[in-house]
Amino acid sequence: MGVPAPRSARRVRADAQRNIDALVAAAREIFAESGLDAPVREIAARAGVGPATLYRHFPERSDLATAVFRREVDACAAAATTLAVAHEPFDALVRWVHELTRFLGGMRGLAAAVHSGDPAFGALPSYFRERFEPALRTLLTAASEAGRVRSDIEPGELLMALKQLCSSGDREANERMVALLVDGLRREATRGPAS
């Protein structure tokens, strides 16, 4: 008898995948509403499954939080490609920056957990960078080539600035601060005062 495949390599049945998707979606909503310490029973109930099903797929709360974070990061990163196809370069960049702002502002409690030193969340900061830096680099390059933004902007620095700006938890304030930051990206912002 062979060794069973690792859990991550096993094929998931369609009904099990539906349960996983429902749990991640419910956890995303509840984490946004109540924070990362929301009751597990509430997440299971909203997903339409029992607590045993939740624990079968996500034995630790950190497993569920990580799944939510990764799914949200993937969706936000994919939006960059969609926006780049549908809009001119600067508009696509601005729209994606605001999409990222909503993502960062909506991950209540998760940001603190990611930076808590808990080894369960250790890989998430690099996952964030690996997915978002290329997406942002593509948008910045296109906007720069179109003559709309400065050419000296590093994606990692801009991501760090956005994370800092969105740490207040106040969505309206986040949007205002990000609008100011976006104005600073414009190519015209590099010009000195008129003499």
Q: Which two tokens stand for residue 25?
A: 């979606």
At residue 87 the predicted structure's pLDDT band, cuts being 50, 70 and 90, is very high
Count of CA atoms in the C-beta half-sphere (13 A) of 102: 10
Q: What is the DSSP string of 42-84?
A: HHHHHHTS-HHHHHHH-SSHHHHHHHHHHHHHHHHHHHHHHHH
CA dist., res. 138 & res. 97, Å (int): 13
pLDDT at residue 4, as a whole number: 36
Segment 93-147, tens digit of pLDDT = 999 999 998 888 776 567 677 777 788 888 888 999 999 999 999 999 999 999 9
CA dist., res. 22 & res. 111, Å (int): 22
pLDDT at residue 3, as a whole number: 34
Domains and CATH numbers, the chain: 13-59 (1.10.10.60), 61-189 (1.10.357.10)
pLDDT exceeds 90 at position 180: no
* Contact between 187 and 150 (Cβ < 8 Å): yes
Segment 21-74, tens digit of pLDDT = 999 999 989 988 888 888 999 999 999 999 999 999 999 989 999 999 999 999
